[in-house]
Amino acid sequence: MNASASRKSAPGADRAWLPPLLSFAASVVFAIVLAVETATFRRDVQTLDAAEAHAVTTALDLCECAAGLVGACAVASILLLARRLKRRLDRVAAENAAIRRHEAFRRASVSNVTHEIRTPLTGILAAVELLDAEAAGGALDGAERRALLAVLRSESARLDRLAQDILSLARIEARAESDGRGEMQEAELAEILAQVHVRMKPKAEVAGVELAVVRAARVRRRCDAELVEQALANLVENALRHSGSPRIELTLAAGADGRGVFTVADFGVGIPAADRARVFERFYRVDKARSRAQGGTGLGLAIVKHIAQLHGGAAALECPRTGGCRFTLSI
């Protein structure tokens, strides 16, 4: 929902300043009239006898006290008005700041997506042009033709992965905005970890990496098991692609608050300190050229973060002094 719609949802909010302003105006007018009339009566007191003059003077003193009270009410009204106006200005300023942040984020997202799409499209278009040239009478041998088809296949697959990750992230964000926790069910987290191990072990073996489950505590939580499995698979995939570690360890522990805490630890090259705070940002890559060459979309860890947040948890990175990385996912 945009800011203008949220403001429309509170009818009368724009007139919140009207009651105290009217009260202040009425108080000022009453105080002025009372002061004028009191002054007039004090001039006329001199024509009265002593008893009548004393009674009128007492009444006028009471009127002046009343005028003071009315003045105090006027001051209170204007202070109330000022406070309401300040709250409204603060709210409008916060809404405008949120709109500016949203617009900046949207522009950055569009720019990043455009940049990510441009590279594989360039490879695809170049291959298509060469194949068109061959069809028009060019000379390509079998090896060159196979190389062009391999480019088309790999770059098309890269675009497909990027589209899938973008759609996945959009669905997770939509569920978070609509309170998607109502769709979650009780699940044994150790079973999810075992499924991830079975799913990712063939990839690890192809890469020459040992993938091991070190410990799996018995923890039951309400969750979306498919999304939790996706987050863990992304963490393992990230370690396989970028860590250079000969071994990756998976653990599941019970947190002090009853949450399940998954850990994916590697013993590879680690991540520079300057990059650690940004690894969960969309399209952020520690080694951009190497990540693209290995088929990464730059969205895997961002998806992990949003899945954790959807479950009321968090994703975090630790880099021990001994080297490597420890990614944790709390559910």
| Per-residue pLDDT tens listing for the chain (331 residues) | 444 444 444 444 455 556 666 666 666 676 676 666 666 666 665 665 666 666 666 766 676 676 666 667 666 766 777 777 788 888 888 888 877 776 766 666 666 677 677 777 888 888 888 877 776 666 677 788 888 888 888 888 888 888 888 888 888 888 887 766 667 899 999 999 999 999 999 999 999 999 999 999 999 999 999 999 999 999 999 999 888 899 999 999 998 788 899 999 999 988 988 889 999 988 887 765 555 555 567 888 999 999 999 999 999 999 988 889 999 999 9
List the structure tokens of 173. 């964000």
pLDDT of residue 228: 95
Give the list of residues 6+ apart from residue 270 with CB closer than 8 angstroms, or none.
319, 323, 324, 325
pTM of the model: 0.63
In the block, which residue shows the tokens 């479950």? 311
SS3 315: strand
pLDDT of residue 245: 92
- Whether 214 and 186 have beta carbons less than 8 Å apart is answered as no
Query: What span, in angstroms and rounded, lies between the C-alpha atoms of 126 and 163?
Result: 21
Q: Is 14 exposed, middle or buried (0-12, 13-18, 19+ CB in 10 A)?
A: exposed
Which region, left, alpha or beta, applies to residue 258 given φ > 0 means left and ψ of -120 to 50 means alpha?
left
pLDDT of residue 145: 80
- Whether 176 and 310 have beta carbons less than 8 Å apart is answered as yes
pLDDT of residue 158: 84
